[in-house]
Amino acid sequence: MSFIKYRGEIGKILFEPLYFEYDDNNVISLKIYKNEKEENYIYFHFTFKDKISDLESAKKLTKKYLNDFTNLLLYLYGYSVKHLEVHEFTDTIFLKGSFDYVGTIEDNFEKIKDRITDRGLLCTLEENISFRLYKSAMEISDPFGKFMFLYSIIYDIFGNQAKLESYIKSTMNNVETLKRVKTNLKNEEIIVEETIFTWIRNHIGHTNKLTDIELIRGQVMKNTANLSNLVLKAIFS
C-alpha cells in the first residue's frame, strides 16, 4: 500500500497520536504523531487507497489536508510547523536532521478533532490573506524578522499607528509603555510614549549610533509571543 510521510519542526511538545480516516477516492487515512527519538518533529503519515507511483502525485493529493492541519495547529494552539518536507515516500527516505530544544508543552489537540470538519473555518483560514501572512511570519526563525513581519501585518489591519496603539491598549489593559525621543516634521525632537510593541518596532526601524541592540533583542524575545496573540486576535476580530 502506498504512503507518504511528511516531517516538520514544531518544538518539544507532547501529544497523543491522532488518527483520521477518510472516505476519499485516494487518501484513506492520516496519522499525526511524534517520534520519541526525534521529539522536536511532528509527522504526518498519509495512506493511499491505490498505488501511487510518483512523488509529485502523492504531494498533490495530500496538499489540502496538510494545509488544513497546519492552519488549525497555528490558529487553535499557536504552534507553527516549520520546514515541512517529505520524509518518506513508500520505501524511500528523504530527510535526516536535528532541531534545538525550545520548551515542553503537553496537549492532546482535542480541539482539532472537532474543528477539522468545520469547512467554514478551514476555508476562512485558507483564504484569509492576513492569516496566510501571519502563518509565514510565524515560520521565520530570525527574531527581529519575525517581530517586524508580525508588526507590519497588524499595522496594515488598522492602517495607522494611532488606531493600532488604541487597539493594543484596549486589548492589553496593563501593556507596558515606554518613552522615546523622535524627530517631528519640523525637525524638532519631541518625547513620545508608546506601547512596548511600537517602541520595539520604531527602535528596530530607526536605529542609530545610540541604539542598544542587546536591549532591543531582549525586548523582542520577551514580547514576540504577546504580539503574535494580538495579531491573531486582530485578524479575526
Contacts of 2 (CB under 8 A, 6+ apart): 47, 48, 50, 51, 52, 53, 58, 90
My answer on whether 117 and 181 are in the same domain is no
Global pTM exceeds 0.85: no
Let me know whether 115 and 225 are in one domain: no
Q: Of 63-77, 97-111, 178-192, where does mean pLDDT reach its minimum? A: 97-111
Residues 36 and 122 in one domain: yes
Q: Please check whether residue 88 lies inside any domain of the structure.
A: yes
8 falls in which pLDDT band (50, 70, 90)?
Answer: very high
Q: Answer yes or no: is pLDDT of 101 > 60.
A: no
As for how many domains the chain has, the answer is 2
Residue 54 has a pLDDT of 87
Tell me: pLDDT of 15 over 90: no
Same domain, 188 and 215: yes
Domain final residue, candidates 127, 153, 182: 127
pLDDT digits (tens, 9 = 90+) for 24-82: 768 899 999 988 777 789 999 999 988 888 889 999 999 999 999 999 999 998 889 99
Does position 197 have pLDDT exceeding 50, yes or no?
yes
Expressed in percent and rounded to 5, the helix, strand and coil fractions of the chain are 45, 25, 30
Residues 6+ apart with CB under 8 A from 150: 134, 137, 224, 227, 228, 231
Structural domain includes residue 64: yes
pLDDT band for position 214 (50/70/90)? very high
Q: What is the extent of the structural domain holding 15?
A: 3-127
Same domain, 151 and 57: no
Closest CA to 101 of 11, 10, 222: 11
